[in-house]
Amino acid sequence: MAVAHFGRGTRKVVVETASMWWLLLSVALLLPLCYGQKASLSRQKLEIHKHLKRLNKPPVKSIQSPDGDTIDCVHISHQPAFDHPFLKNHSIQMRPTYRLEGLFDGEKMSSAPKSSEGTKRPITQLWHLNGRCPEGTVPIRRTKRDDLLRASSVKRYGKKHHRAIPQPAKSADPDLLNQSGHQHAIAYVEGGKYYGAKATMNVWEPKIQQSNEFSLSQLWILGGSFASDLNSIEAGWQVSPDLYGDSNTRLFTYWTSDAYQATGCYNLLCSGFIQISNDVAMGASIFPLSSYRGSQYDISILVWKDPKEGNWWMQFGEDYVLGYWPGFLFSYLSDSASMIEWGGEVVNSAPDGQHTTTQMGSGHFPEEGFGKASYFRNIQIVDGSNNLRAPKDLGTFTEESDCYDVQIGRSDDWGNYFYYGGPGRNPNCP
């Protein structure tokens, strides 16, 4: 029998040949992966570039805000609203056909002691310190590349998650209410036909535990079913590090016609809301802010339906009519709202199984009262005669009153009001 003998040199050649084959095989396997990753990054870069181009319209003038924002003064007819196919030939309605009459037109502060009230100056926005937008333009907060990178996807940027709304009906499933980790402390009315709502709310800077959480205070104009086809118009103030990249308190709006599934967005981050004001930028920081046991500052927001044109208008303060949501955006709200809500909302997504420490409002419970707790005052609804009036049968709702609570009241100066909010995690809210 012949026996093959392999010397050291032969074994070396065999080993080197095998190593070479493994190297070639590894390269062959990794090349498609590397090219795939590179192609994916290129697609993402292109997608971000296109989206920024859609959102950031060419400005007539740009203003740098002290907080780092850039406010672009965009020609009124070039704003993102007109990317909507139904608005291609839309004639901008420069003023509502009706103005409202009602209670508290000359609103005044509480009869609380002057030492608690402090000095009350007009609320403004930080970018106003460095300039204003000219007539014929609208101020739009410029979206940055980093804003899009913080979002779960470019398509989801500027959108709330599904079921981000309180459903205070007694028949509601508690599991559904907490499905998305959103918690609320609200007052509400339901069961009638409502054509708008108004309230004055004081403005705070609540602390946020995690960047993917937020805290806001707002009013909701609602119609339809909560499950799939909810129509909602929302406006107020919020702190949202994920959306804005900081912890500033900002004016915001939101809308949806399908329960947050595909339609709608914050501010002007999609086509829909038509802005006419050159004074106020949605999504921009507001100041001054209320302080605990110190000065209290509040903003008034009014949303109402124009009975002639069918559009839903928004007014900020007593002087600024910001613009409108065209009636065709909605199904149920093309007629009227069936529920109005006012109050606070937070996201509870703490990963350690404990409740978040994200604050709602001032971060203090309602029983602490004026100068310490957050409030909504002069709460009103718009009736079928286009008049502001006090709501009847005002209810309250909160998922966990030991974390965030709400208490309603009524007085001559404040009409219907409530205090609300809380610290989140505490000995009674673990």
Q: Based on the residue annotation, tell me whether 234 is a catalytic residue of this protein.
A: yes
Q: What is the pLDDT of residue 279?
A: 97
Residue 96 tokens, joined: 């509502």
List b or e across 242-269, with b for residues whose CB sees 16 or more CB atoms inside 10 angstroms: bbbbeebbbbbbbbbbbbbeebbbbbbb
pLDDT digit string (tens) for the chain, length 430 residues:
554 554 555 555 444 565 666 666 665 665 665 555 666 667 778 899 999 999 999 999 999 999 999 999 999 999 999 999 999 889 999 999 877 765 434 443 333 333 334 445 677 899 999 999 999 999 999 999 999 999 888 888 999 876 556 666 543 433 334 445 899 999 999 999 999 999 999 999 999 999 999 999 999 999 998 878 999 999 999 999 999 999 999 999 999 999 999 999 999 999 999 999 999 999 999 999 999 999 999 999 999 999 999 999 999 998 899 999 999 999 999 999 999 999 999 999 987 789 999 999 999 999 999 999 999 999 999 999 999 999 999 999 999 999 999 999 999 999 999 999 999 999 999 8
Q: What is the pLDDT of residue 31?
A: 60
Residue 341's domain comprises 94-125+173-421
Whether residue 359 lies inside any domain: the answer is yes
Q: What is the pLDDT of residue 355?
A: 95
Q: What is the pLDDT of residue 203?
A: 98
Whether residue 384 lies inside any domain: the answer is yes
Whether residue 429 lies inside any domain: the answer is no
Question: Dihedrals φ, ψ of 40, to 5°?
Answer: -65, -45
In whole angstroms, give the CA distance from residue 110 to residue 412: 9
Given 234, 318, 367, 400, the catalytic residue:
234
Q: Taking a C-beta distance cutoff of 8 angstroms, is the pair 333, 233 a contact?
A: yes
Given 205, 213, 341, 345, the catalytic residue:
345
Q: What is the pLDDT of residue 118?
A: 40
Whether residue 31 lies inside any domain: the answer is no
Q: What is the pLDDT of residue 106?
A: 40
Q: What is the pLDDT of residue 30?
A: 59
Q: What is the pLDDT of residue 248?
A: 98
Whether residue 340 lies inside any domain: the answer is yes
**Residue 337 belongs to a domain with what CATH number?**
2.60.120
Q: What is the pLDDT of residue 69?
A: 98
Q: How many structural domains comprise the chain?
A: 1
Q: What's the pTM value of the predicted model, to 2 decimals?
A: 0.85
Q: Which residues pair with 256 in a beta bridge?
A: 232
Whether residue 139 lies inside any domain: the answer is no
The verdict on whether omega for the bond into residue 288 sits within 30 degrees of 0, i.e. cis, is: yes
Whether residue 43 lies inside any domain: the answer is no
Whether residue 379 lies inside any domain: the answer is yes
In whole angstroms, give the CA distance from residue 221 to residue 333: 9
